[in-house]
Amino acid sequence: MAGPSLRPHVHWAQRHRELYLRVELSDVQHPDITITDNVLHFKAQGHGAKGDNIYEFQIEFLEPVEPHPVCRVTQRQLNITVQKKESNWWERLTKQEKRPLFLAPDFDRWLDESDAEMELKEKEEEKISKMKIESRVPKDPFRHLKKGYLVMYNLVQFLGFSWIFVNMTVRLFILGKDSFYDTFHTIADMMYFCQTLALMEIMNSLIGLVRSPLIPAVLQIFGRNFILFVVLGSLEEMQNKPVVFFVFYIWSIIELFRYPYYMLSCIGIEWKPLTWLRYTAWIPLYPLGGLSEAVAVIQSIPIFSETGKFSLELPNPLNVTIQFSFLLQLYLIALFLGVFVNFRHLYKQRKQHLGPKKRKMK
């Protein structure tokens, strides 16, 4: 009933590992494609050069192939992909030397051997770089524990400094200026606690728990604790001075913005107003803080001179003199330099975090 079988136009191309066959038949519903004994058998009903008909062809491959062809049918053609058993460049598609009449090269997908090699190389490199990206971030089994610890730490600090801030504000309203003079006695214990706990921040940076750099953290913590424990803590006379109020108040306001921001960023939440506050509030607060610390140091210098505290006079077995008041003067210079350098660093940071949004804010 069927006449001599019609052959469709078939275009072929190859890569090192596979063969592509494009069969020019449209509206093919159920193609029959098998490979047995290294021969591809194709039979399908479709619309081709000779109209709507059954088309079929056979191809015996030059070298062994996997007997599992993959076929993709589109409206206008069929794409068959056949895997070669061995990765090899074939000089022709068919075992027979003469090219079958229905077969032609597929110039759309054609690559010569060297180009195909380059394509392979590019694919390899893509794979390697993808693997590298994946291996750079291994899943850390402790990450939940670490996050929990950081959130707790920041929360505790936030609560501590909130207590300090609220306490000082309330006392300011009730007692007015008089609250300046006994700030130290009421607040110092909590401040000692918070600042001692802040040493953990150095640990966190040291063991890599937190990504912030180590040295600025060390300098900041050292600076604060020096003022708190040495300049204020060791001298009774300093503790009654009003400057203590300002130092503590400014520290607590700065921390009120810093710790909640860290807490939320640990969990991965970003509250835009808080971010803005954290990266803007330091602009007035940081220099004011530095100034109040400087005033505290300046006021303490005469007291250290008189009492000779932390100072060493001759004669002594070490044969050296230490004038603590002189060291404090050096510290003042370092303080101003530090504030200046840190100010620039925070400004850069601000630009990084808030940069593109700055226009909106205005």
Partner 1 sequence: FVSYQVEILDWKTKEQLCFLDKVEPNATIREIRLMFHKLYPQWYPARQSIKLDPKGKSLRDAEILQHLPVGTTATLYFKDLGPQIGWTTVFLIEYTGPLFIYFLFYFRMPFVYGLDERFTSSPHPVVNLACICHSFHYIKRLIETVFVHRFSHGTMPLRNIVKNCLYYWGFAAWLAYYINHPLYTPPSYGKKQINFAVIMFLLCEAGNFSIHVALSDLQRNGSKTRKIPYPTKNPFTWLFFFVSCPNYTYEVGTWISFTIMTQCVPVGLFTFLCFIQMTIWAKDKHCTYLREFKDYPSVRMPIIPFLL
Binding residues vs partner 1 (CB under 8 A):
314-321
Cβ closest to partner 1, residue 159 vs residue 327: 327
Min separation Cβ 321 and partner 1, Å: 8
Q: Which residues of 230-268 are buried (b: 16+ CB within 10 A; e: fewer)?
A: bbbbebeebbebebbbbbbbbbbbbbbbbbbbbbbbbee
* CA-based max dimension of the chain: 126
Closest to partner 1 by CB, 317 vs 356, is: 317
Q: How far apart are the two ends of the chain, measured CA to CA in Å?
A: 84
The CB-of-316 to partner 1 minimum distance in angstroms stands at 6
Q: Considering beta carbons, is residue 81 or 323 the nearer one to partner 1?
A: 323
- What's the min distance (Å) between Cβ of 313 and partner 1? 9
Q: CB of residue 318 vs partner 1: minimum separation in angstroms?
A: 5
Q: How far is the CB of 314 from partner 1 (least distance, A)?
A: 4
> Which pair of tokens denotes residue 105?
């090269």
Q: Please state whether beta strands 103-105 and 10-14 pair in parallel, antiparallel, or not at all (unpaired).
A: parallel
E strands within 212-322? none
- Which of 298/312 has CB closer to partner 1? 312
Told to judge if 192 belongs to the known catalytic residues of this protein, a careful annotator would answer no
- Which one of the listed residues 122, 286, 306, 347 is annotated catalytic? 286
| Residue type for position 149 | Y
237 is catalytic: no
Q: Measured from the CB atom, is 97 or 313 closer to partner 1?
A: 313
Reported as type and span, the H/E element at residue 287 is: helix 282-307
Q: Could you give the CA distance from residue 243 to residue 249 in angstroms, rounded to a whole number?
A: 10
DSSP string, 212-227: S-HHHHHHHHHHHHII
Q: Tell me which of 259, 279, 293, 331 is the catalytic residue.
A: 293
Is-contact 167 137, C-beta < 8 A? Answer: no
What gap in Å lies between CA 110 and CA 319, rounded to an integer? 88
* Residues carrying an active site annotation: 286, 293
